[in-house]
Structure 1
Amino acid sequence: MNVEVRGLSKAFGPISAVTDLSFEAGAGSVTGFLGPNGAGKTTTMRMTLGLVTPTSGTATFGGRRYADLPRPSATVGAVLDGAGFHPAHTALDHLRVYARMGRYGRARAEEVADLTGVSAFAGRPTRTLSTGMRQRLSLATALLGDPQVLLLDEPSNGLDPEGIAWLRHFVRELAADGRTVLISSHALGEIEHMADHVVVIRDGRLVTTGPITGLYGPATVLVRSPQAGLFAAGLTAGGVRVEHPQPGLLRIHGLSTAEVAAAAASHGIALHEITPERPTLEQAFLHLTGGSR
């Protein structure tokens, strides 16, 4: 089930939080929703769920607005910042209450607790839970209806390294099962490992959308060779852009490692090292959004 955002805009008085935003998150994939602080990510997520009314435009799930879904929580599960828990309820109490509200049955609460690791602290009052535990409990709540779409706003907040590794694997499994997963996150390193596609916004406007590999730009390859100067001359004569950052080292633009190796063989050049090089997601993100370190 696809998430489709078309011409979505939201103004708070004179301030435009989101402007004419359009993108799509497809089934069976993880889409990273990226942007600087204040870019409009959370506002957009809330508009898709009807928690904020758009000034114009639409957000639909399989062609229907969230409010028009016959059983919304069985179609869309959401984890947003600031999820509230009754302080006197245990984690399992919380899940049982929401399971009953959604008519999912008492057993479903225990199933999602086991799926998300909540069962390890199921008997603890929610007021005593750490931020990471609350994130797991929020995710378990979102999964009660076994939804086809997951909207996750900063889901790794408060998770320790083990929890982040678990989340990465869990999210990939959800997508492999054919679900649509849209993740808003500042943890670019994690998005780099989780996402298939990205949507990048700045100041409420779309910057780019597409496969995550498309952010990185043309390939570059680092080569170390005792014949670096000779190799550089041959490549340059063939129209390839080559940098020579230090003696014996070349940075070759626009060729894959296989093409570089083939070119070296054709010129009779000995290579001591050949390494593909690409920018990190953080570097690509900062370039696209005009940020700086």
Structure 2
Amino acid sequence: MKLSALTTAVLAVAAALAACTGAHAADTLAKIAAANKMTVAYRESSVPFSYLDGPEKPVGFSVELTNAIVAAVKQKLGKPNLEVGLMAVTSQNRIPLITNGTLDLECGSTTNNSARAKDVAFAINHFYTGTRLLVKKGAGIKDYPDLKGKKVAITTGTTNVQVVRKYSTDKNLDIDIVMGKDHSDSLLLLESDRATAFAMDDILLYGLKSNSKTPADLEVVGEALQVEPYACMLPKDDPQYKALVDGVITGLMKSGQFDKLYDKWFMQPIAPKNLPIGLPMSKELKDNIMTPSDKPAT
């Protein structure tokens, strides 16, 4: 993995945190040091957070956060040549791979919520999103009530399944949820007319749309259900490691580097089609940059 350059301010924050934690190494850091290897996750189709731009070449906003954290871990351990293993994960297996110790870090498009916090820890929130709908233009779908009795694709293992299921029950819509094994599979269900809509975090829908076969034929519609934060996942009950990771993300936010990364991945043209996502930073994220928080969704 090619590590992006960290600003002096970020490295200073990481060094200060290392000093504050004392001589005793956190369990995750001790594990990494003993193995001389850190294993980090990436997603294959979570545009623009973590996705493939060529064989085994993960790129994206969350990949840049991962790179910054890896650089800080190398500095903390005094191991500039630390081996970095990359592992592709899905919505379904990402949490088990953290809890069983296979992964040391997962920065993708993972919602920080109270239920997941029973099994893993979350770093400072780095994005906020809500469940919306990707549909074909001309399909006559403008919001959730238009999907009464229709098939809706949702990716397995995501919080969106529960959100849409509850909304369907509350509103008596009888939505038929069709599971995709990953985001690209869910998109294919929509494109092949095996589903009328694809319900997912709005930012992922914008990213998938921009990289689809025919972006002009698709549109994101509907109200945003349950705004939720994204955060990097870490092993649970490891305060020293969490402090280091939080310090890196907070350092990026305070130095202005976070804003630059956001502009790069959300406002400027990105690979593979050199098209911009075009989603300005939300008020929730701006507030979180001013006062960093790891507060979960309920």
Q: Which has the higher strand share?
A: 1
TM-score with structure 2 length normalisation? 0.25
Using CA pairs under 8 Å that are at least 6 residues apart, name the structure with larger relative contact order, 1 or 2.
2
* Larger Cα-atom Rg: 1
